[in-house]
Structure 1
Amino acid sequence: MSLRSVTAAVGAACSAVVLLLAVPGSASAATGQFRYTYTTAEGYDAVGFLNNPAGGRCVNLPTPAAAPGAVSRAPKNRTDATATVFLDADCEGDTYYTLPPGAGASDRLLVRSVVFS
């Protein structure tokens, strides 16, 4: 094997490693269920949930289309990841609360969005 062939092989191997490191990995999912309570357009309490939510992505909590601007409450983090819940949509604002795995909060905690670590 010539020096030129060895150099080309090493260069190709290094390029492959760099390419693998540059491609982002998929975000891990939290295993379990995240629950929250909301009030329906008819005035009844209902429970919403997210099963195995993706990690690292903000999720606006779904509420009935007939109740725009509705706020959810009483989050329960039954996943294996930490959930950070926000009063504002799109995980923005200064009002947020962190729920470790297995933790929950009372009806007084209002939430509109959540992100899992």
Structure 2
Amino acid sequence: MRLRHAAVAAFGAVTLLLTIPTSASAAEGQFQYTVSGLDGTPLRVVLENPPSGECITLPEVADPAASSPAHSPRNRTDEVALVFTEPDCTGREFALRPRTGYGSERLELRSVVFVRPE
């Protein structure tokens, strides 16, 4: 009888462990970019510890018909930042190396994804 209770308890514990969601991985550090404010002044936006492996469309510039693209990205994360000229990680792609990667005002972007360096 005790063996059966122990087996049921162990099975319950294993089931609970398998159903607990694991935390998503994140690129550690900051990703910065510049957008134009409503009055045209440049605003620096910072993504702190952005999620890794998922496309992030920058909310300030998500609609190409309503906004100018972001520019001047700075990758201060521990992962490669792949920046894209269009929303949903489409368009031309540029890679910014971890920690020190950056682009000038000419590098326009609307989305980014972070990937572990090879």
Q: Per the shorter chain, which TM-score range?
A: 0.7 to 0.9
User: 1:19-40 deviations in whole A, cap 9, x for unaligned?
Assistant: x89x985431000000001111
* 3-state SS, counterpart of residue 88 of structure 2: helix
- Identical pairs, percent: 45
Q: Answer with 1 or 2: which has the greater Rg.
A: 1
Q: What 5-or-longer segments of structure 2 have no aligned partner?
A: 1-13
Q: Tell me which protein shows more strand as a share of its residues.
A: 2
Distance 2:56 2:84 in 1: 10
Distance 1:24 1:57 in 2: 17
| 2:77 paired residue number | 79
Q: Give yes or no for the alignment of 1:70 onto 2:63.
A: no
| Structure 1 stretch displaced more, 68-77 or 47-56 | 68-77
Q: Give yes or no for the alignment of 1:33 onto 2:30.
A: yes
Aligned partners of 1:27 and 1:56 also within 8 Å: no
| Residue type of the alignment partner of 1:51 | E
* 3-state SS, counterpart of residue 63 of structure 1: helix
| 1:97 paired residue number | 94
Q: So what's the TM-score if we normalise by structure 1?
A: 0.73
Q: What 5-or-longer segments of structure 1 have no aligned partner?
A: 1-16
Q: How many residues align?
A: 112
| Residue type of the alignment partner of 1:61 | L
Aligned partners of 1:81 and 1:100 also within 8 Å: yes
| 1:42 paired residue number | 39
Task: Give me the CA root mean square deviation.
Answer: 2.8
* 3-state SS, counterpart of residue 95 of structure 1: strand
| 1:114 paired residue number | 112
